Structure 1
Amino acid sequence: MIVVVEGMSAAGKTTWCCQAAGDTLLPETFPADRHNQPLEGPEVAAYWVEWNTQRWRNALALEASKGMAVCDTDPLKLHYSWGLWQLGEKQEADWQFSLQETRRAIAQRQLGFADMVLIKPIDASTARHQMETDITRTRSRFDLHFRLQRFLIEWYSALEAVFPTRVKWGLPKDFKIPPVTVNPGRYDLKAFDAFIASLPKPLSS
């Protein structure tokens, strides 16, 4: 089983994952050379989708060896590009590059939908307090991530409509993973297309 834990920066998802997942945890990671990459264009989409496919491969390997992988953030992280487009921080062309590259990866079974997503919305004051008291990490883009939270919620609300019961809101306080079964639509392109088509459009479009 592959379980994704999502939420904005400082929502507490990493802390929860560390206590709940044990040796089934797939940590959130980033490529070391990401700051040297261009900010737009098809090469950027290919770069990040390749990174995401590596995380998905790691999740599959962990699932094969342990029976479960708990991913701190979604390997299928297309919501980030979509959210930036919604905010006007990214051009529609760049969103389309990311979308098509991700769709190709799903068609080739290099990326897929998780079996369950646990997502934790959080209010700004609580998130800011948790950010300021966490001395182990710097979060220089906190304000952007809080602005993106609205679209993160819209993204997984739309996913919930396509895959009912597979999106859970909030993180269990007892740190126990809810019962989960394999999602038969992991690589379902029709489901992916229906999901994308159901997403809200920017107000300016």
Structure 2
Amino acid sequence: MIVVVEGISAAGKTTWCHQNAAQFLIKESYPEKRPDRQAGPGEAARIWTDWNAKRWSDAVAMERAQGVAVCDTDPLKLHFIWAMWQIGEVAESHWTAQLKFTRQALQDQRLGFADHYLFKKIDPDVAQAQKDHDAARSRPNFDLHLRLHASLVVWYETIEKVLSGRLNWELSETLPAAEHTPNPYRYDVSVFDRFIQMLPRPRR
């Protein structure tokens, strides 16, 4: 079973992962040098997809060895660039480039849908208070994350529609039951395409 834990910065997902799934954890991580999307959306999309695929591979290996893997943020990661497009932070070309590479990676079974998703909805004021309380982390993009929250909720509402019963809107006190039904659509491109078609376009 692969579990994805999601939410904006300061929602509490990393703390929850360390408290409840440290032995199964696939940490959130980034390339040492993050690619410049403005310089080349296609090349940046390729680099990010390869990085995300490595995290997915780590999750599959952990699942094989331990029976469960818990990912701090979704290895599919496509939600981020989609949400950025929704709020006008990137051009549509950035979204379509990332979509193309991600779809191919799913078709090649280098990326996939998780078996279960935990998404932490959070009030902006609560997130701000939690950020202020955690002096150990600077969170330089926190204001951006607050702006992304509504779009990320829409993304995972759509996940819930296509993968019914596989999403919780809270971080439960324990991991989902190990016997949770495996997702038969993990690498199903037709389900992926239907999911993408259901996503709204920006309203602006």
Same-fold status (TM-score > 0.5): yes
Secondary structure in 1 aligned to 2:74? coil
Q: For 1:114, give the aligned amino acid.
A: A
Mean CA deviation greater in 132-141 or 64-73: 132-141
Equivalent residue number for residue 148 of structure 2: 148
Q: Give the residue type in structure 1 aligned to 2:95.
A: W
Identity %: 49
Match status 1:84 vs 2:84: yes
1:18-46 residue CA offsets vs partner (Å, 9 max, x unmatched): 11103111111111111xx2223200100
Deviation at 1:88, TM superposition (A): 0.7
Could you tell me which amino acid in structure 2 is paired with residue 110 of structure 1? R
Contact kept? 2:113, 2:185, Cα under 8 Å:
yes
Taking the TM superposition and a 5 Å limit, the aligned residue runs for 1:23-102 are 23-34=23-34, 37-40=35-38, 41-102=41-102
The more displaced of 148-157 and 130-139 is: 130-139
Structure 1 partner of 2:111: 111
CA distance in 2, matches of 1:169, 1:15: 17
- Do the aligned partners of 2:13 and 2:120 also contact (CA within 8 Å) in 1? yes
Q: What is residue 129 of structure 1 aligned with on the other side?
A: 129
Whole-angstrom distance in 1 between the partners of 2:201 and 2:22: 39
Q: CA deviation at 1:181?
A: 2.0
RMSD (Å) for aligned C-alpha atoms:
0.8
| Matches of 1:84 and 1:26, distance apart in 2 | 24
Q: Any unmatched runs of 5+ in structure 1?
A: none
Amino acid across the alignment from 2:119:
I
CA distance, structure 1, for counterparts of residue 15 and residue 57 of structure 2: 23
Equivalent residues, number: 200
Contact 2:5-2:74 within 8 A present in 1 as well:
yes
Task: State the match for 1:191 in structure 2.
Answer: 191
Q: Give the secondary-structure state (helix, strand or coil) at the position aligned to 1:136.
A: coil
Q: Distance in 2 between matches of 1:178 and 1:104?
A: 29
Mark the runs of 5 or more structure 2 residues left unpaired by the alignment: none
For the residues of structure 2 that align with 1:132 and 1:83, how far apart are their CA atoms?
Answer: 24
CA distance in 2, matches of 1:117, 1:153: 12
Work out the CA distance in 1 between the residues paired with 2:65 and 2:10.
30
Secondary structure of 1:10 counterpart? coil
Match of 1:138 in 2: 138
**Cα offset for 1:133?**
1.1
Moved more, 128-137 or 44-53: 128-137
Q: Letter of the aligned partner of 1:124 in structure 2? A: P
Q: CA deviation at 1:203?
A: 1.2
